[in-house]
Every structure is written in C-alpha cells, then in structure tokens.
Amino acid sequence: MQQLPFVSIGLVFIALAAFQSITEAQKQENKNVFNTSSCLEKPYRCPHPRIKFYLYTRRTQHTPELIDVLDPESLYYTHWNPSHPVKIVIHGFGGGRNLSPSPDMRKAYFTRGNYNIIIVDYGSAVTEPCLNQIEWAPRFGSLCVSQLVKYIANHPRGVPPDDMHLIGYSVGAHIAGLVANYLTPAEGKLGRITGLDPTIFFYAGSNNSRDLDPSDAHFVDIIHTGAGILGQWSPGGHADFYVNGGTSQPGCASSTIFQTLACDHTKVTPYFIESINSERGFWAGPCPTLISYLLGWCEPKDSEYVLMGEHLSRQARGVFYVTTNAKPPYARGFPGKNRRTAKTSEYAGVRRK
C-alpha cells in the first residue's frame, strides 16, 4: 500500500507524457492541414507552374498543346484557329484536364464541330485543401486566367474577350467571374460565362467582387443542382436554372449523405454536356416560386420557354425551372400540350400551356 502514491505519481507522469504526445501530434496534424501538397509555392506571380493552359482542337483531341502566355510565338505553334468558337473550361476542386468533366465536355463539343477548347488545369493545386490559401487562391487563379485572356486578345491571330465563353464548375465558376476584375473597359468584356453549380463555400453572395454575378460578362447563365448545400442558392446570373428544384437530383440517392450531396453537386456537368448535342433539349420555364414549381402550378406560355445549356439564347432573363430524367438521356424535350398535371404525370413541374 505504501507504493500506491508512487504508482499514482508514475501514472500522472505517463498521462502527462501521453497528453503531450497527443498535443504535439495534433499540432503537427493541424500544421499539415495548412501546409499540403496543394499549397502554391512562392513566388506568387503569373504565369505559375501549377496553373497550365492546354489547347484542344478537333485535330489535337488526344495531343493537347500547351500555351505559353509569355511567348508571343506560342499560339503560332498550335492548331489554334481564330475562326472557331473559343471555350475556356475551368474545373473545380479535385479536377484536372484528364478528369471528369473535362474529357466528356471536349468530346461533346468536337462531336458537334470545330472549337478552340482551352482547359485551365490547376489540378495539382486542388487535390486537397490548403486552408491558409483558400481565401486568396481563387483570386490568384483568376489573375492567371486573365493573363491568358489578354494574351489571346492581343495576339495577331487572337480574338477579343467578347468572343470568349468561359465555363466554370463549382469554385471554377467563381474563378471565371473573378477574371472580370482584371479586365479594363478598354480591354473588353467577356462574352459569356456559364456557371455550373457555383460552390457555396467561401462565397456567401454578399460581395459581388468575389461571387459570379451579371456584371462579369455580357451574358452570365448559371445552372443550380446542389443549391443551398454544396452550391449557392441565390440567383447570380442574367438567367438562372434550377434543375429539379435546384437542390436534389433524381438518381443521386446513396447509402451515405455525403455521396448523395456530392452527386447532386456534380450532376450539373452531365446535364450541360448533354445539352451540347441534345435533340430533345432541356426546355425550362419561368415560375413565380419554387413551391409553385414543385406543385406543378406553373403554366408558362410557349414563348416563355428557353433552352437551358449550351444553346441558351442570350436574351434570356430571370429564373427558370426544368425537370429531367433520372438517367441519360436526361433531357425531356418541350413539354407537350396533352401532358397531365404534375400530380399524375411523369413530367413534374413546369408544363406547357
């Protein structure tokens, strides 16, 4: 019994040592969270080696050409054709030029015709979160993309920003919008920005200098599929589309809530990709409220319907709703006159008057 105090003291020292070890391990873990392989290295200037621009054309679908914005001759050495439409695609977190949706989007466009498709590949910088850079990294990325835009605009074989279409997914949508902050009126204004479910994280919608908004291009269209969860809820473009209500997508139910929410967020990309060559089309109609849409009370006139996606008219203004199939082909076409009401029809929501 006389040894118990010494045993107790020994246990205290062991506990303190263990606590110290846990504390040090926790500190190291926290340090690793803020310093990961995704953190951009100094110097922070554009062009940056972790942000690359790959040009794809119909002739170079499998052999992309790297554009060097510091080399005036770089564009001459590629298959760039100024007479073809320009698409600049900016992926989101965990993306890359060879990761979905970039390959599928390129294939869809080249199936349709000739394009200059530039993939902004910053995949090595978003494989995991670098929390101490998350505040300014999107702005830095957009600065580098603006350098690309200016390079093309000022090149003898280039085109003005007005003829460029930027397509951004998740955080890439906001990066596309932030490019506008680095273009002066004399340099021109981006022709179109398509935001594919812009992320809600780090962008609360109260600061238009950070969010994608109508002032960022001549025409801004946004497609919402995970609104209010992983994507932004509020409208942010000239035309906003809430697919299947904008939050939950058919066919996304999973065994875990994370997989379900991730599916809702990423489902926006196959919708847009299908719209490029769809014969049916994603016809969307205006509706006063989400509740009215869900109850099937919306009865737009024929002239009020617009095509969501690639072939959207730049005259479209307002908020639109569209219903899709759970599996490809997702598009349902123009709502027919003789379809039944939302309570009994497979076509819920907007219906033709």
Domain residue spans in the chain?
41-322
Residue 128 confidence (pLDDT) = 73
Q: Phi-psi category of 246—alpha, beta or left, where left has phi over 0 and alpha has psi -120 to 50?
A: left
- Look at residue 200 and tell me whether its pLDDT is greater than 90: no
Task: Return the HEC string of 158-219.
Answer: CCCHHHEEEEEECHHHHHHHHHHHHCCHHHCCCCEEEEECCECCCCCCCCCCCCCCHHHCCE
Residue 309 confidence (pLDDT) = 98
From 89-93, 99-103, 120-124, 341-345, the region with the lowest mean pLDDT: 341-345
Residue 350 confidence (pLDDT) = 59
The distance of Cα 107 from the centroid of its chain, to the nearest Å, equals 18
**What is the architecture, at CATH level 2, of domain 41-322?**
3-Layer(aba) Sandwich (3.40)
- Look at residue 52 and tell me whether its pLDDT is greater than 80: yes
The arithmetic mean of pLDDT across residues 23-39, rounded, is 54
On whether the CB atoms of residues 118 and 55 are closer than 8 A, the answer is yes
Report which DSSP code applies to 322. Answer: E
Give residue 208's pLDDT band: very low, low, confident or very high (50, 70, 90): low
Distance CA 168, CA 125 (A): 16
**Of 306 and 128, which is predicted with more confidence?**
306
Cβ burial 75-105 (10 Å sphere, 16+ → b, else e)? beebebeeebbbbbbbbbbebbbeebbbeeb
Residue 239 confidence (pLDDT) = 98
The arithmetic mean of pLDDT across residues 305-328, rounded, is 97
Distance CA 331, CA 283 (A): 8
What are the two backbone dihedrals, phi and then psi, of residue 264, each rounded to the nearest 5 degrees? -55, -40
| % the chain with pLDDT above 90 | 68
From 51-60, 61-70, 125-134, 209-218, the region with the lowest mean pLDDT: 125-134
Distance CA 314, CA 202 (A): 29
Residue 209 confidence (pLDDT) = 62
- Look at residue 291 and tell me whether its pLDDT is greater than 70: yes
| % the chain with pLDDT above 70 | 82
Residue 174 catalytic?
Answer: no
Distance CA 24, CA 31 (A): 10
Residue 170 catalytic?
Answer: yes
Catalytic residue, chosen from 102, 170, 248, 278, is 170
- Cα-based distances in Å from 183 to 116, 149, 156, 179: 21, 9, 19, 7
- Look at residue 328 and tell me whether its pLDDT is greater than 50: yes
Catalytic residue, chosen from 213, 264, 265, 275, is 265
Give residue 340's pLDDT band: very low, low, confident or very high (50, 70, 90): very low
Distance CA 205, CA 212 (A): 9
Locate all alpha helices (DSSP H) within the chain, ordered by sequence: 4-34, 102-112, 137-154, 171-178, 257-266, 268-277, 290-295
Residue 100 confidence (pLDDT) = 86
- Look at residue 152 and tell me whether its pLDDT is greater than 70: yes
Q: Which residues contact 87 (CB under 8 A, 6 or more apart)?
A: 109, 115, 116, 117, 118, 165, 167
Distance CA 259, CA 142 (A): 29
The arithmetic mean of pLDDT across residues 171-184, rounded, is 95
Residue 40 confidence (pLDDT) = 86
Which tokens hold the place of 267?
């489902």
- Look at residue 240 and tell me whether its pLDDT is greater than 70: yes
From 14-18, 68-72, 161-165, the region with the lowest mean pLDDT: 14-18
Give the other-Cβ count within 10 Å of 273's Cβ: 23
Q: Which residues contact 250 (CB under 8 A, 6 or more apart)?
A: 244, 324, 325, 326
Residue 321 confidence (pLDDT) = 97
Distance CA 41, CA 287 (A): 48
SS3 131: coil
SS3 61: coil
- Look at residue 36 and tell me whether its pLDDT is greater than 70: no
Q: Which residues contact 47 (CB under 8 A, 6 or more apart)?
A: 68, 69, 70, 144, 147
Give residue 22's pLDDT band: very low, low, confident or very high (50, 70, 90): very low
What are the two backbone dihedrals, phi and then psi, of residue 239, each rounded to the nearest 5 degrees? -135, 125
Residue 188 confidence (pLDDT) = 96
From 18-27, 225-234, 266-275, the region with the lowest mean pLDDT: 18-27
Catalytic residue, chosen from 121, 197, 213, 221, is 197
**Of 233 and 167, which is predicted with more confidence?**
167
pTM for this predicted structure: 0.85
Residue 265 catalytic?
Answer: yes
User: By C-alpha distance, which of 93, 87, 122 is closest to 106?
Assistant: 87
Give residue 138's pLDDT band: very low, low, confident or very high (50, 70, 90): confident
From 8-12, 36-40, 188-192, 217-221, the region with the lowest mean pLDDT: 8-12
